[in-house]
């Protein structure tokens, strides 16, 4: 198993563990009253996310493993680091073609300079530390925020309740050792 696959397995395992541990967490609803999301909507969004991820993985141009997919009420947010504008355009087009997708929000970033195996390992550790710090905070709902790191630059994406959560998540990420820059790609839930 190559290093990229090992990092992918590690990341998926950590995210799964974090998700399971956060299932019992309660959320501070005082910050902003949110429109109700039904169980059916959550299930539909999960199905859409799965379909989008499958479509992106099946596409040779996109290289879907580098793209995070978040869905809320049929609105799909794509984030992460990609190699070119062509991949961004193709990922957007592929996503729009998936049944149930109402809108696509592009939060992808084109990669800069090359990355070594050591950089990937360091980036994986930074991602894990940032994710853990977000989950430990009472203001931020860390399970709603995806974290990607490339060359010490952390990209935060996902749907959050309000600007306070965006600001706090950005502040938390900046405080993690090894983080060189934080890019906010989060969207406030509608």
Q: Which domains does the chain have, with CATH numbers?
A: 35-111 (3.30.1340.30), 114-190 (3.30.1340.30)
- Are 154 and 148 in contact, with CB atoms under 8 Å apart? yes
**Region 12-19: what's the mean pLDDT?**
46
Which band of pLDDT confidence, cut at 50, 70 and 90, is reported for residue 24? very low
Kindly give the pairing relationship between strand 103-110 and strand 67-72: unpaired
Calculated CA dihedral for residues 110, 115, 120, 125, nearest 10 degrees: -70
Average pLDDT over residues 158-181: 92
What pLDDT is attached to residue 68?
86
Residue 80 φ/ψ, nearest 5 degrees = 120, -175
**Which of 101, 60, 58, 112 minimizes the C-alpha distance to 78?**
101
Q: Is the model more confident about 128 or about 10?
A: 128
């Amino acid at each position: 198993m190559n290093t990229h696959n090992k990092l992918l397995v590690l990341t998926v395992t950590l995210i799964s563990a974090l998700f399971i541990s956060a299932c019992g967490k309660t959320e501070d609803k005082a910050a902003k009253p949110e429109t109700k999301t039904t169980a059916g909507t959550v299930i539909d969004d999960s199905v859409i996310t799965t379909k989008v991820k499958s479509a992106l993985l099946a596409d040779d141009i996109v290289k879907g493993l580098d793209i995070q997919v978040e869905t809320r009420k049929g609105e799909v947010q794509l984030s992460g680091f990609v190699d070119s504008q062509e991949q961004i355009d193709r990922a957007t087009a592929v996503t729009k073609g998936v049944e149930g997708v109402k809108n696509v929000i592009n939060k992808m970033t084109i990669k800069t300079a090359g990355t070594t195996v050591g950089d990937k390992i360091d980036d994986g550790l930074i991602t894990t530390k940032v994710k853990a710090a977000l989950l430990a905070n009472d203001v931020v709902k860390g399970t709603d925020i995806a974290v990607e790191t490339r060359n010490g630059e952390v990209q935060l994406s996902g749907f959050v309740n309000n600007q306070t959560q965006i600001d706090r998540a950005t502040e938390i990420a900046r405080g993690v050792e090894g983080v060189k820059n934080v890019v906010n790609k989060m969207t406030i839930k509608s």
